[in-house]
Amino acid sequence: MESDDWLSRQFGYPVYRFTFDEGHPPDEDAIRDAVNESGKSFIYTRTDVSDPSRTDPFIRAGFSLVETSVELGKEVMGGDPPEFSGCDITFADQSDRDNTVDLASRGFSLSRFHSDPLIDDAIADQIKASWTGNFFSGKRGTHMAVAKNAGAVIGFILLDVRPDSFQIDLMAVDAGWRGKGVGSSLVKFTEKAFPDRKYISVTTELRNTEAVNLYLRNGFYLLGGAYTLHLHKE
């Protein structure tokens, strides 16, 4: 198991990720032995949806399935973003930190942390807020764009830009502005900003149908998926 130091700070006790070679998944005994070596902790793992049987030994060892995620991708189109008079989109700077972190603290309800009944919503909200705040501290992502209306942040998109591609790490739109084109405008803004990149990808929760449909409308297609499993050890 690998220590997740950042999540450990969020929870206030050790958090581990159970990693394994996809070609040689561990058996139930190996999982139990690893778990038993830890004290009070939160442990998580992911298995590929292509072989659901790989989740079985984790379930038998006490893990619970909390999330099915999907990975989507598309070729970068570039060009001009659509006209949207409801907001202005620019790259974020330090002056946007507080408003963006505030939006992140209340902009998510379907993440794996929110889906776990053993994790308090206040902790789940703080995880997303800290995740977003890490961008402004230079600890997460490479670029962020924000959508504003009358100077207020109503949406943001956090990116990890690489030499030939980029990944959407996190995106949120204020509840009062959803369904009005803000999310699509943010996605298209990033495509125009990095036209020399060939590919864009994102991972989101399967049950977040609003987000999945947004990406499908913007030309993304399904690449794969994963199951996320949690175990809380007292």
Domain boundaries, the chain: 2-70, 74-223
Local mean pLDDT, 10-residue blocks, the chain (234 residues):
94 94 80 89 94 90 96 83 73 97 96 96 97 96 95 95 95 93 92 91 96 94 96 94
Q: What pLDDT score does 206 carry?
A: 96
From its phi and psi, is residue 128 left (phi > 0), alpha (psi between -120 and 50) or beta? alpha
pLDDT value, residue 63: 96
- H helix and E strand count, the chain: 8, 10
pTM: 0.91
Report pLDDT for 199: 94
Q: What is the pLDDT of residue 38?
A: 85
Q: Rounded distance, CA 207 to CA 211, Å?
A: 9
| pLDDT confidence of residue 27 | 84
Q: Within a 10 A sphere around the Cβ of 8, how many other Cβ atoms?
A: 15
Pairing of strands 41-48, 15-17: parallel
Query: Which of the following CATH numbers is that of domain 74-223: 1.10.3720.10, 3.40.50.300, 2.40.10.340, 3.40.630.30?
Result: 3.40.630.30
